[in-house]
Chains A and B, each alone.
Chain A
Amino acid sequence: MKFDIQKFWKNTQRNQLTLYPKAIALFCLLNIITLLPDVQEIYSSIGLISPEIVSEYLYPYSLRLEWILSPMQAFNLSEEVTTSIIIAIYMLSLCFVVFRYKTLFFSIVAWIIHLMLVNTSYFFSYGADYFINFGLFLVVLFTIINYLKDPEKKRLFSVFTIRLLQIHLCLVYLFAGFGKSLGTDWYNGNAVWYVLNNYSPNLQDEFSYFLLLSTYIFKIACWLTLFFEFFFPILIFYSRTRKITLFAVISMHIGIMMFMHLYTFGAIMILLDLIAFGHYFDKEYRILKRMFSNKIQAISFNNNSRIKES
């Protein structure tokens, strides 16, 4: 298995660079919609955790909503109204990115606002929020490509953006696997056992007999997680293992969604994995597309024949 540096800068993607920023922006829009009823509690300075407490845990340079909320009080705008306006601007910016209107400007606006939201809700922010932030950073990079005139620069920048995401995901899984490999729970099966019991306690009632039959099921699940995470950077770039590796990590994230109920986290990871490595399934995608278009053609042919007969 040789590493060819020239191949690193070769364009491996099918031409979906306009789709990726739209997909990420749409995801972010859906994410904020799921939080709309609670935006005041989580993000506003009159929310559950006051900004004075949060600011003790932030660096001085961390952008935060408080920097906008405080000056707005001079215009007799309450914190609730200002927070709602900022959320509305965030959602509108994402809509403009989806519909490709002044994408660079609005992608930067969306990225900065989301960064402020994540910093402001420091205690409430978790992996999904940080990956969404990274996704919005990628949207800015994707939209920069449209402003480059030279085709070679366009190609280089588009390859760079995808490679950045690929390398980033490799580091994510590598360090996740490395951290897990230092303990004991991920070898004796306890890790998946504890996760299932703590996040899906009812599962045990339904499958208790099955679960007791063999503890090897949990050990295998733990070892597979360790293996695919730790060796992800190698397996994902090696031609014989890339598809099974991508399938394995996507399955892992589906499992996270189903059993840990971390829907946003699982979904953003699947989205980023597909953007980075989804082109590995180009052949399968084309076969599926042909199958569906043949089926649609067959259905419309049958309908037309019935219309003619009648």
Chain B
Amino acid sequence: MKNTLIIFLLFHVIVVVTVNLFSFKNFSPSKTAKLNYVGQQYITNFQPTDPVEPIKSIVGFYANITGTNRGYEFFSPNVSSGAIQLRFEKENCEEIQLLETSESSVKMVVATIYYFKKIKNEEAKNAITKSICKRIFEKNQDINTIKVYLKMRNVNPILSYTSESEFLEKELLISTVKKHKNEI
């Protein structure tokens, strides 16, 4: 039994290491300006190659069922200087609250980050916006038009911060969705 447990432990370590090494591939080489020397060398010279299919599926399946399928590179290598938030508004400029609890709000922030940073395809983004708006229309029969705003907030780096510095805040209307047409 001891040998079985050792093999299982080693397998778990291999899976976690593999998932994390591949998650560092998300550090874009084009953004090496904000990487230090070691970071630049790592990104350009130590990128792992994709494993062959059966191994990829086995590793992926085990990582998925054990909750180890997302790497731990959050806030790596740097932290974003800005925050983004999606805001949904009725025709009368009243904000629509999508979720009620504070934990759900955290999940909405996570979804917003995914929406902007991981999904590059505009069509995919529009599909998500339409899906959210469709649900709002179903729950609120009195709403005919939804305006989707992107609220952005940026802060200066610490060394250039002064007491007179203000946050750079901007709100952009990114889409207007009408009820029956569900068009953007």
Chain A residues within CB distance 8 Å of chain B: 9, 31, 34-38, 41-42, 46-50, 53, 56, 59, 61-63, 115, 118-119, 121, 123-127, 129-137, 153, 156-157, 160, 163-164, 167-168, 171-173, 175-176, 179-191, 193-195, 197-199, 201, 208-209, 212, 215, 218, 261-264
* Across-interface contacts of B9 in A (CB, < 8 A): 160, 163-164, 167
Give the one of B76, B102, B104, B158 with max A CB within 10 A: B158
Assembly CA distance A62 to B60 (angstroms): 9
Secondary structure type dominating chain B contacts: helix
Decide if B103 is an interface residue (CB 8 Å cutoff): yes
- Report the minimum CB–CB distance from A208 to chain B (whole Å): 6
* Across-interface contacts of A136 in B (CB, < 8 A): 67
Q: With A137-B66, A175-B72, A182-B35 given, is the CB distance from A38 to B99 under 8 Å?
A: yes
CB distance B158 to A198 under 8 Å?
A: no
Assembly CA distance A127 to B30 (angstroms): 26
* Across-interface contacts of B69 in A (CB, < 8 A): 130
Interface residues on B, range: 35 or more
Q: With A133-B67, A153-B1, A176-B73 given, is the CB distance from A37 to B100 under 8 Å?
A: yes
CB distance A208 to B163 under 8 Å?
A: yes
Give the one of B73, B100, B101, B106 with max A CB within 10 A: B106
Assembly CA distance A153 to B82 (angstroms): 52
* Across-interface contacts of A184 in B (CB, < 8 A): 34-36, 77-78
* Across-interface contacts of B65 in A (CB, < 8 A): 63, 115, 137
* Across-interface contacts of A179 in B (CB, < 8 A): 24, 27, 71-73, 75-77
Q: With A168-B16, A171-B20, A180-B75 given, is the CB distance from A198 to B99 under 8 Å?
A: no
CB distance B111 to A123 under 8 Å?
A: yes
CB distance A193 to B57 under 8 Å?
A: no
* Across-interface contacts of B155 in A (CB, < 8 A): 193-194, 197-198
Other A-B pairs, 5, CB within 8 Å; known A48-B135, A59-B57, A188-B157: A123-B111, A127-B70, A130-B70, A183-B34, A193-B155
Q: With A48-B98, A198-B82 given, is the CB distance from A188 to B77 under 8 Å?
A: no
CB distance B76 to A176 under 8 Å?
A: yes
Assembly CA distance A92 to B137 (angstroms): 33
- Report the minimum CB–CB distance from A48 to chain B (whole Å): 5
Which residue on chain A has the smallest CB distance to residue B110? A126
Which residue on chain A has the smallest CB distance to residue B104? A38
Q: Which of A9, A198, A264 contacts B106 (CB 8 A)?
A: A264
CB distance B167 to A190 under 8 Å?
A: no
- Report B28-58 residues with CB < 8 Å from chain A CB: 34-36, 38-39, 42-43, 57
CB distance B42 to A182 under 8 Å?
A: yes
CB distance B72 to A47 under 8 Å?
A: no
- Report the minimum CB–CB distance from A109 to chain B (whole Å): 14
- Report the minimum CB–CB distance from B163 to chain A (whole Å): 6
Assembly CA distance A167 to B124 (angstroms): 38
CB distance A156 to B72 under 8 Å?
A: no
Q: With A41-B135, A185-B79, A264-B106 given, is the CB distance from A193 to B157 under 8 Å?
A: yes
CB distance B74 to A127 under 8 Å?
A: yes
Secondary structure type dominating chain A contacts: helix
* Across-interface contacts of B81 in A (CB, < 8 A): 190, 194
CB distance B167 to A197 under 8 Å?
A: yes
Q: Which of A163, A185, A201 contacts B167 (CB 8 A)?
A: A201
Q: With A35-B103, A179-B24, A190-B79 given, is the CB distance from A172 to B157 under 8 Å?
A: no
Assembly CA distance A242 to B5 (angstroms): 26
Which residue on chain B has the smallest CB distance to residue A127? B74
* Across-interface contacts of A59 in B (CB, < 8 A): 57, 60-61, 64
Decide if B174 is an interface residue (CB 8 Å cutoff): no
CB distance B5 to A156 under 8 Å?
A: yes
CB distance B79 to A194 under 8 Å?
A: yes
CB distance A185 to B34 under 8 Å?
A: yes
Assembly CA distance A296 to B42 (angstroms): 58
Assembly CA distance A135 to B67 (angstroms): 9
Decide if B173 is an interface residue (CB 8 Å cutoff): no
Q: Which of B66, B110, B158 contacts A218 (CB 8 A)?
A: B158
Assembly CA distance A252 to B157 (angstroms): 22
Q: Which of A56, A134, A176, A187 contacts B36 (CB 8 A)?
A: A187
CB distance B158 to A188 under 8 Å?
A: yes
Q: With A37-B104, A191-B75 given, is the CB distance from A171 to B13 under 8 Å?
A: yes
Q: With A163-B9, A179-B72 given, is the CB distance from A53 to B67 under 8 Å?
A: no
* Across-interface contacts of B83 in A (CB, < 8 A): 198-199
What are 26 A-B contacts defined by CB distance under 8 Å? A31-B103, A34-B102, A38-B101, A49-B131, A61-B61, A61-B64, A123-B111, A123-B114, A124-B110, A134-B68, A135-B67, A137-B66, A175-B73, A176-B73, A179-B71, A179-B77, A180-B76, A185-B78, A186-B78, A186-B79, A189-B158, A190-B78, A193-B157, A201-B153, A215-B158, A218-B158
